[in-house]
Amino acid sequence: MKFSLSSRSPTSQLPFTFGAPALIWQVLFFYLPLVLIAISGFVKVTETGDILGMTFDHFLFFLRPLYLKVIFSSFLLAFSNTLLCLAIAYPLAYFLAFTGKRYSNLFLFLLIVPFWTNFLLHVYAWFFVLDKDGFLNLLLQNLGLVQNPTSMLNTPFAILIMMVYYYLPYMVLPLYSSLEKMDVRLIEASFDLGATWLQTFRRIMLPLTKRGLKAGFFLVFIPSFGEFAIPELMGGDKQMFVGTVVSDYILGEETGALGAAFTVLALIFMLITAGILYWVIERLIPGKTHG
Amino acid sequence: MRSVRLVKIKKSFKDGTVIPDVSLNMPAGKFFALLGPSGCGKTTLLRLIAGLEKADSGTIFLGDLDITDWPIHKRPINIVFQNYALFPHLNVFDNVAYSLKLEKLPKSIIKQKVLKILEAFHLENHIYKRVTELSGGQQQRVALARAIVNEPDVLLLDEPLAALDFKLREKMLIELIELQDKLKTTFLYVTHDQFEALTVADQMAIMNHHGEIEQVGTPKEIYEFPISSFVARFVGTTNIINGTLWNIDQEPEIEVSGLGRFKVDLPHKQKKEWMKEGCDAIMSIRPEKIYISKKEVPNFSNSLKGHVQSIVYHGRSTQYNILLKNQTRIQVFEQNEEHFPQEVIDYDHEVNLYWQKENAVILEK
């Protein structure tokens, strides 16, 4: 099958024809600006806008503990967000694909509904939940778990909960589509041959949903690394993340080049971490990629 | 090697009862076939034994052990699934080694066991292939090897040959019989195909559309002495003739309207409770039990005249469809013993049909 299409057959031309508009769009509005930003990070400009030459100063400026810490906290936030999403999304996707199959369309619909309302509305809704006399504190007090209510706004917890809330569907959907393709009888066969739940999960389900898992993992990890709005709105200005620093410098007066340099640094760091994580996932989950 | 005994098993799903009340004994070390029409609940019964479903009530014994509440992975019972359910991300070796790896056996022993069984199944040239690269017959063998490598007490086979073509199926049936003979594991073979069931089984059970067991016995018992018209019709081909039963205590006869009276034997010469003078009954005669000729032939208990309606040539036998005087049709099979039969029977010829009374079966209507 794979090799039966000759290079002249009309179908083999189709992918490029159909892919071209998207490709051109990507090049024009993503790769080209990225290259321009990278270049502007190296360029020394006078106050009047004359180019003086090339420099590494903008990059060296950020090689300080403060900014390395910023990059590290962004990584930590993105990583914990991704793991939390994964932990919540896997059982949910499993439920949608198998147990609740009859209602899976309804559930998927409900999962996507929040995207129809404005992002800021979600944020304000969470304010009400996390505030000192908000819903969550009330609940905890009534359960007797907390005596003195404290505001949970402007804490790392608030940032994380909003991140998980916002990014969860990006994890659920690819996992669901992987699990849905899996034959239930493979799970049954595994039990039948003596495997426990945990063994079946590790040896059968994880390898067979590896593709969906990787897709979900990086769909969540990569954007949450550079996330700007959520830490800004939910975390106050207590802690700086990559997104905050980039926006501060890019929008600041005459600090555009610094912003560009930091963007490039953060990008390089993120690509390296993503690569390492990819490698780790490949090593942790046995079997060739499926589903 | 252990027997499986089902006692008063009941199972319902949301859309209705599947198994109303089944008790069944599958003897240890025997090849047992469960035969029934599609959707009759036989697969559910198999899944109950495996532990993939939970019975509403009733008890499942494995030998003397009550395994009703045992979880699936603890039961020494393995399934060969209809679509094989091979793990697509594992190669042939790892599929077969799956259960052994779970047992945490030493690697050398696993390797030895798996290679031995793969060799026995003629798969030694495919050890490291992905299962998706194999043919249907090879996948079937991998599924079998995977299910018996950890030496289960019972092997359940759920229509395992349904996806194979006829020739391969015949070959696999023989291989299965020989395998069971060698292993002496209790096999339960679930199928809707009477040919498969008759071929493999030491003992078989017939399940009807309502999930009830109609008859249990050897293939021969079931084919020759069906206990109900359902069994007679479902296993093999038969002619069903409605009539009235007379003279039960001396020389029983069945009277068929428009055709006259025919001598019959009561099943196993025993009078059944439902048999009353003048009651309705069914006579079932297998098409191959009828002798067809244009001549007068003596020494048959019964004879009947009819016209040949159509002739179907099957190779080893010829099927004649005969129209009787009362407008019913019956089928007759004749072995094609000679290249040039002495007697040529053709379309629209008038023929005589003969059969011995002991070759017809009387059933309750």
Q: What is the ipTM of this complex?
A: 0.86
- Which residues sit opposite B186 in a β-bridge? B154
User: By the 8 A CB rule, do A289 and B130 touch?
Assistant: no
Does A3 score more than 70 pLDDT?
Answer: no
How much is the pLDDT for B29?
94
Residue B329: phi, psi to the nearest 5? Answer: -115, 145
Burial class (CB in 10 A: 0-12, 13-18, 19+), B262: buried
pLDDT band at A85 (very low <50, low <70, confident <90, very high): very high
How much is the pLDDT for B89?
92
Q: Please provide the average confidence, as pLDDT, over all residues in chain A.
A: 87
Strands B154-158 and B77-80: parallel
Domains of chain A by residue range = 1-55, 63-284
Three-state secondary structure string covering B2-32: CCEEEEEEEEEECCEEEEEEEEEEECCCCEE
User: By the 8 A CB rule, do B203 and B25 touch?
Assistant: no
Q: What's the pTM?
A: 0.83
pLDDT band at B216 (very low <50, low <70, confident <90, very high): very high
Residue of A nearest to B86 (CA): A186
**Average of pLDDT values for A30-55?**
85
How much is the pLDDT for A291?
43
Pick among 2.40.50.140, 3.40.50.450, 2.40.128.30, 1.10.10.10: CATH of B238-364? 2.40.50.140
Report DSSP letters for A196-249, one per residue: -HHHHIIIIIHHHTHHHHHHHHHHHHHHHHS--HHHHHHSTTSS--HHHHHHHH
CB burial string B308-317: b at 16+ within 10 A, e below: beeeeeeeee
Of A9-18, A231-240, A265-274, B250-259, least confident by mean pLDDT is: A9-18
Between positions 44 and 103 of B, the ones with CB within 8 A of A are: 50-52, 71-74, 77-79, 81, 83, 85, 87-90, 98-99, 102-103
Residues of chain B within CATH 2.40.50.140 domain(s) are 238-364
DSSP state of B359: G
User: By the 8 A CB rule, do A153 and A263 touch?
Assistant: no
Residue of higher predicted confidence among B269 and B48 = B48
Does A15 score more than 90 pLDDT?
Answer: no
Residue B219 DSSP SS3 = helix
pLDDT band at B339 (very low <50, low <70, confident <90, very high): confident
Percent of chain B topping pLDDT 90:
81
| Nearest CB to A195 within list B73, B83, B88 | B73
Assigned CATH for A63-284:
1.10.3720.10
Residue B291: phi, psi to the nearest 5? Answer: -100, 135
How much is the pLDDT for A9?
60
Residue type, A217: F
- Show contacts of B334-337: CB within 8 Å, 24+ apart: B334/B291, B334/B292, B335/B288
B82-97 pLDDT tens trace: 999 999 999 999 999 9
User: By the 8 A CB rule, do B74 and B18 touch?
Assistant: no
Inspect the interface and report whether the beta carbons of B83 and A185 lie closer than 8 Å. yes
Residues of chain B within CATH 3.40.50.300 domain(s) are 4-232
Assigned CATH topology for domain B4-232: Rossmann fold (3.40.50)
Of A108-122, A217-231, B236-250, least confident by mean pLDDT is: A108-122
- Rounded to an integer, what distance in angstroms lies between the CA atom of residue A233 and that of residue A229? 6
* Geometric angle at alpha carbon B264, from B258 and B267, rounded to 5°: 135
For an interface test with A, the pick among B83, B89, B146 (most A C-beta atoms closer than 10 Å) comes out as: B89
Does A198 score more than 80 pLDDT?
Answer: yes
- Rounded to an integer, what distance in angstroms lies between the CA atom of residue B84 and that of residue A185? 9
Does A1 score more than 50 pLDDT?
Answer: no
B161-172 pLDDT tens trace: 988 888 889 999
A50-79 pLDDT tens trace: 778 888 888 888 888 999 999 999 999 999
Residues of A within 8 A of B50 (CB-CB) are 192
pLDDT band at A8 (very low <50, low <70, confident <90, very high): low
Residue A118 DSSP SS3 = coil
Of A111-125, B90-104, B275-289, B292-306, least confident by mean pLDDT is: A111-125
